[in-house]
Amino acid sequence: MFSLPKRRAAPLLVALALAFAAGPGLAQAPPPAASPVEPMPPPGPAAPQPLQPGDAFGEDVTLPARTVIGLKGRGTWDAAFDTLSDAFKSLNQYLEKQGIKPNGPAMTIYTETDDRGFSFEAVLPVAEAPANPPTGDIAVSQAPTGRALKFTHRGSYDSMDSTYEAITNHLDEKQLDAKDMFIEEYTADPATMKPDSIVVTIYVPVK
């Protein structure tokens, strides 16, 4: 089972200090009692936008076999959006240089997550493996196949925490055992999309 992304900021801590010094030979009245100041509560998770008709939430699907060109990496949740954007920029540059056009939406395959960060593979589907396979960090592989549950997220990138929490609750309610990965599929190019309003299809492979 995967861990929820941790993109939210830490709570704001408030500290107050008062300093009083008496001048030589002068008596001072005691300072007035300070009014108690309560610490500000931590910011709550951003809320995603409501789903629209046709959006999936817990839909049972079968992931098809797909050849992909991908770039593996590791990132932290605080810099997740920039990390993924940079990975897809590198992939776009490689495909453009090779004259290869993707034949499907970009995807991020998360292979490991914890509170500190995540391991991932940013991939672009292609019709077939290139005649000259890539070398170095970029490689040809096969996307995950088999049964999965399909979910939709609408809203800001930061509000995806709430969507993943809802997904976890759904899996618990249905008593489903997820595999140790999940997939995000994007309606826009992750290299150029804005984090304020995105639409992401999330696939959770189940055992």
The pTM assigned to this predicted structure is 0.78
Question: d(Cα 122, Cα 105) in Å, to the nearest integer?
Answer: 11
- The span from the first CA to the last CA of the chain, in angstroms, equals 11
**195-207: per-residue pLDDT in tens?**
998 999 999 999 9
Question: Residue 179: pLDDT above 60?
Answer: yes
Question: Residue 2: pLDDT above 80?
Answer: no
May I ask the CATH class of domain 57-205? alpha beta
Question: d(Cα 137, Cα 72) in Å, to the nearest integer?
Answer: 7
Query: Structural domain boundaries of the chain?
Result: 57-205
Q: Which two tokens stand for residue 42?
A: 């931590």
Percent of residues, the chain, with pLDDT higher than 90: 68
For residue 32, the model assigns a pLDDT of 53
Q: Which residue is listed with tokens 């300093």?
A: 19
Provide mean pLDDT across the span 186-191. Answer: 94
Question: Residue 49: pLDDT above 90?
Answer: no
CB 145 within 8 A of CB 64: yes
Provide mean pLDDT across the span 109-126. Answer: 95
For residue 189, the model assigns a pLDDT of 94
More confident of the two residues 124 and 10? 124
> What residue type is 79 in one-letter code?
A
> What residue type is 82 in one-letter code?
D
What is the 3 state secondary structure string of 147-205? EEEEEEEEECCCCHHHHHHHHHHHHHHHCCCECCCEEEEECCCCCCCCCCCEEEEEEEE
More confident of the two residues 204 and 46? 204
For residue 4, the model assigns a pLDDT of 45
SS3 144: coil
Question: Residue 144: pLDDT above 60?
Answer: yes
For residue 146, the model assigns a pLDDT of 96
For residue 50, the model assigns a pLDDT of 87
DSSP 206: B
For residue 34, the model assigns a pLDDT of 52
> What residue type is 26 in one-letter code?
L
Question: d(Cα 155, Cα 48) in Å, to the nearest integer?
Answer: 5
Cα maximum dimension of the chain: 92
